[in-house]
């Protein structure tokens, strides 16, 4: 038995039929040269046994109805047909058809009586290409963990096959009976960590409050000070999933030229895209939209699950000049990272709780629209592989991350770098955000404008 952390259990508690809480990836692949006629059928069969090599895929909830002491146990009811689905797009297979199919799958919550994952193998794309759509509950894995799992299946060697003989079982945990004194010692250490974290969290909140009083617009923002937008409403169950790509090399060049990071450039591009989208719908607020950027607190040896905090930064959607927006983003994120990295992990987790606990309570009580939003949108940039990857000889062409939206936070933009490209996955609610599937067009426009301004400014 493996007890869930408070964060992981919280992801299960907040889930509703209108707001499922799984993360996903859409991977587009080209089959190997001279692949046999039954190549995809054999690949689907291998994927049905992923629970044998990925420990997270062989766990289920001990009691799906009682989350007061939620715990994972080994699945004793695993059936591959409940987790792996194989079908084809209608001819001719187009990307819009693929996205429509994947969107319908993304709208459905996972069955809590089973291991919380699904994989859809979809053939029929032009040139013999096919796609894998894999979704996993957020309580089971975070974005970084999901990337690690994907990379563990893929290889830089096009001749390497999925080897189901290499069983990767999770190390057996030792459940010794600790004495009362040992248990009290553990509680004391936990209390001490919280006691030490309080001054750090207090200083952070004081700095953020002081920045508001001083009118400093280039600083981390307090939760629940974001403007109201069309992204911050009660959601319906329908989803809109859209994708786009940008060249990694050019984005790196812009970042280097202005002393920022790839993440800074992407944040500025998204701010420009949201400004363009909201202006087109006469819905741009006077104050800048606020972005929540998940920050992993996991150490290299941490297992599955989540240890998260958030950086809250302006998107600078009120800024007309694309290059000036980037420079403001760089100054703000540099300061925010310095604040967050100076804090202990416990204090950073407490800041996350300060953001999420009220948001969860407002959502569960149906009051998400009665106060100012905690944030306007979620943006995440997950580093991927730097070289070409292969799955059973099939070359990965692109990997699009598809994440979660909730009541009051109805837009999620996640980016993964894959070889020479940046792959955007955008999740939204089309019944609340008109023409949101046009956002990739505005992302490309914002990128071109920033690239042009950067060249002229050099």
Alpha carbon of 243 to those of 28, 89, 317: distances in Å?
12, 18, 21
Give the containing element (helix H, strand E) for 325.
helix 322-341
**How far apart are the C-alpha atoms of 109 and 102, rounded to whole Å?**
13
Residue 226 and residue 374 in contact, taking contact as beta carbons nearer than 8 Å: yes
Residue 274 and residue 329 in contact, taking contact as beta carbons nearer than 8 Å: no
Alpha carbon of 283 to those of 318, 342, 372: distances in Å?
12, 37, 16
Q: Is 86 a catalytic residue?
A: no
Residues 6 or more apart whose Cβ sits within 8 Å of residue 15: 21, 109
> CA angle 193-194-195, nearest 5°?
90
Tokens 């039954």 found at: 38
What is the three-class DSSP state of 297?
Answer: coil
What is the three-class DSSP state of 352?
Answer: helix
**How far apart are the C-alpha atoms of 319 and 281, rounded to whole Å?**
17
Instruction: Count how many Cα atoms sit within 13 Å of the Cα of residue 36 in the half-sphere of its side chain.
Output: 6
State how beta strands 377-382 and 411-418 pair: parallel
Tokens 């046999």 found at: 36
Task: Tell me which residue of 1, 15, 20 sits closest to 60, measured CA to CA.
Answer: 1
Bridge partners (DSSP) listed for residue 131: 28, 122
Task: Tell me which residue of 215, 312, 322, 222 sits closest to 274, measured CA to CA.
Answer: 322
Indicate left, alpha or beta for 417 from its phi (over 0: left) and psi (-120 to 50: alpha).
beta
Q: Report residue 37 as tokens.
A: 């006629």
The active-site residue out of 83, 138, 258, 407 is 138
The answer to whether the Cα torsion of 301, 306, 312, 316 is positive or negative is positive
Tokens 């000070």 found at: 225
Indicate left, alpha or beta for 257 from its phi (over 0: left) and psi (-120 to 50: alpha).
alpha
> CA angle 27-398-312, nearest 5°?
90
Bridge partners (DSSP) listed for residue 24: 135, 402
Residue 363 and residue 11 in contact, taking contact as beta carbons nearer than 8 Å: no
Active site (catalytic) residues: 138
């Amino acid at each position: 038995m493996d007890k869930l952390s408070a964060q992981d259990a919280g992801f299960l508690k907040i889930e509703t039929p209108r707001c499922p809480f799984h993360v996903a990836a859409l991977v587009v692949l080209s089959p190997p040269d001279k692949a046999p006629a039954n190549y995809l059928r054999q690949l689907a069969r291998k994927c049905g046994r992923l629970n044998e090599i990925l420990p997270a895929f062989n766990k289920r909830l001990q009691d799906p109805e009682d989350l007061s002491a939620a715990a994972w146990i080994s699945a004793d009811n695993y059936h591959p047909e409940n987790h792996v689905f194989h079908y084809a797009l209608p001819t001719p297979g187009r990307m819009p058809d693929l996205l429509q199919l994947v969107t319908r799958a993304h709208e459905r919550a996972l069955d809590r009586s089973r291991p919380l994952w699904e994989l859809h193998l979809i053939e029929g794309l032009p040139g013999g290409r096919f796609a894998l759509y894999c979704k996993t509950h957020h309580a089971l894995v975070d974005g970084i963990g999901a990337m690690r799992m994907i990379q563990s299946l893929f290889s830089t060697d096009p001749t390497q096959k999925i080897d189901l003989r290499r069983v990767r079982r999770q190390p057996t945990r030792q459940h010794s009976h600790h004495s009362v004194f040992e248990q009290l010692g553990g509680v004391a250490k936990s209390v001490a960590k919280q006691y030490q974290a309080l001054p750090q969290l207090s200083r952070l909140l004081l700095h953020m409050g002081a920045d508001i009083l001083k009118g400093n617009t280039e600083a981390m923002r307090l939760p629940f000070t974001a403007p109201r937008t069309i992204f911050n409403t009660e959601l319906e169950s329908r989803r809109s999933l859209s994708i786009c790509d940008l060249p990694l090399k050019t984005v790196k060049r812009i970042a280097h030229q202005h002393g920022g990071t790839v993440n800074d450039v992407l944040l500025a591009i998204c701010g420009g895209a949201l400004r363009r989208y909201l202006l087109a719908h006469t819905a741009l607020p006077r104050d800048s939209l606020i972005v929540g950027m998940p920050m992993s607190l996991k150490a290299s040896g941490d297992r599955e699950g989540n240890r998260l905090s958030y950086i809250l930064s302006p998107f600078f959607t009120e800024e007309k000049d694309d290059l000036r927006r980037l420079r403001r983003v760089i100054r703000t994120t540099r300061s925010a990272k310095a604040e967050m990295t100076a804090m202990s992990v416990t204090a950073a987790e407490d800041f996350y709780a300060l953001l999420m606990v009220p948001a969860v309570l407002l959502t569960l009580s149906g009051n998400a629209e009665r106060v100012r939003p905690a944030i306007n949108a979620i943006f995440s940039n997950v580093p991927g592989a730097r070289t070409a990857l292969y799955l059973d000889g099939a070359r990965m062409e692109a990997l699009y991350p598809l994440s979660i939206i909730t009541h009051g936070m109805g837009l999620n933009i996640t980016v993964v770098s894959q070889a020479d490209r940046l792959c955007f996955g955008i999740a939204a609610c089309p019944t609340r955000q008109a023409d949101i599937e046009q956002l990739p067009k505005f992302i490309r426009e914002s990128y071109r404008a920033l690239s042009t301004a950067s060249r002229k400014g050099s």
